[in-house]
Amino acid sequence: MKIATWNVNSLKVRLPQVLQWLTDNPIDVLCLQETKLTDDKFPLAEINAAGYQVVFTGQKTYNGVAILSRHPIEDVVKNNPLFEDEQQRLLTATINGIRIVCAYIPNGQSLESDKYQYKLKWLNGLHDWLQQQQAQHPKLALLGDYNIAPEDRDVHDPAAWEGQVLVSPPERAAFVRMQELGLTDAFRLFEQPERLFSWWDYRQMGFRMNKGLRIDHILLSAPLVPLCSACIIDKVPRKWEQPSDHTPVIATLDL
DNA sequence: ATGGCGGCACAATGCCGA
């Protein structure tokens, strides 16, 4: 079973790429972020026609998440019952006995911004939700755009980024707190190429210069770790015409 | 050098993302 996450930066624009990528890759579960579509505009028929069931929760212009699956989707929860939030950033469902949590964690904008305080509170709420869900569903995977580069090796230029949003100590501490719930970064279970990232700025030839960050992650609960046989970042869609600034992360679970 | 690029909207300039 392959599970993946991809921030598509507008599903309206990126739908053809999502369908092409799913044709090229035998993915069972794909978590999307930044769909930027209200639910009435969600391309349900196209995704069903591609052989996927899908659940989604969106809003106008910003945010929006979805879970696509080749297998039945059960016990769906939209948003975080433990954290009141207008923004559509969280979706939880059970697929093949695994609790899948799809998250678009806030960006935070800058350390001085109100959005940064919102990010930290949102992360607290996510922590509590993960704790509760893991107690009920020991096999849990958290996939999404975390907007956190956990370590300096996840940053193209750590000196330039020091103290900035996405790498600040409170954000990294929130990531560690999730690890302390027993969740493991699937990417770091395996030997990986150096300087491999999941996001590159559209500006300054960011992708060609490899000026990127690893901010899209798959965290696995302890029972899933021994079942995980691979975790890769697929840079191929970032090379396509009119790409998202993020590229997919895929984990293979041998159930 | 705080902008560049790209998506979006009460759209032709401003907000936001990361």
How sure is the predictor about A33, in pLDDT bands with cuts at 50, 70 and 90? very high
Largest CA distance in chain A: 47
How sure is the predictor about A26, in pLDDT bands with cuts at 50, 70 and 90? confident
Provide mean pLDDT across the span A176-204. Answer: 97
How far is residue A184's CA from residue A224's CA, in Å, rounded to a whole number? 9
Q: Which bases on strand B have an atom closer than 7 Å to a protein beta carbon?
A: 4-10, 16-18
How far is residue A45's CA from residue A94's CA, in Å, rounded to a whole number? 22
How far is residue A200's CA from residue A23's CA, in Å, rounded to a whole number? 24
Q: Which residues contact A162 (CB under 8 A, 6 or more apart)?
A: none
Residues A222-238 pLDDT 10s: 999 999 999 999 999 99
Nucleotide nearest to A110 (CA to C1'): B18
Nucleotide nearest to A61 (CA to C1'): B8
Provide mean pLDDT across the span A210-217. Answer: 98
Residues A69-91 pLDDT 10s: 999 999 999 999 999 999 999 99
Distance, Å, A189 CA → B18 C1':
26
Judged against a pLDDT cut of 90, whether residue A114 lies above it is answered with yes
The per-residue pLDDT of chain A, averaged, comes to 98
Q: Which residues contact A41 (CB under 8 A, 6 or more apart)?
A: A12, A58
The pLDDT score that the predictor gives to residue A215 is 98
Distance, Å, A24 CA → B3 C1':
37
Residues A137-169 pLDDT 10s: 999 999 999 999 999 999 999 999 999 999 999
Nucleotide nearest to A198 (CA to C1'): B18
The pLDDT score that the predictor gives to residue A46 is 97
Nucleotide nearest to A9 (CA to C1'): B7
Residues with CB under 7 A from strand B: A 7, 9-10, 12-13, 34, 36, 60-62, 106-107, 109-110, 115, 145, 147, 165-166, 199, 201-204, 213, 215, 242, 245-246
How far is residue A80's CA from residue A30's CA, in Å, rounded to a whole number? 20
Distance, Å, A10 CA → B8 C1':
9
The pLDDT score that the predictor gives to residue A143 is 98
How far is residue A119's CA from residue A127's CA, in Å, rounded to a whole number? 12
The pLDDT score that the predictor gives to residue A218 is 98
Judged against a pLDDT cut of 90, whether residue A105 lies above it is answered with yes
Distance, Å, A106 CA → B17 C1':
10
A73, A55 Cβ separation under 8 angstroms: yes
Please name the residue whose C-alpha is nearest to the C1' of nucleotide B17: A107
Residues of A that are catalytic: 104, 145
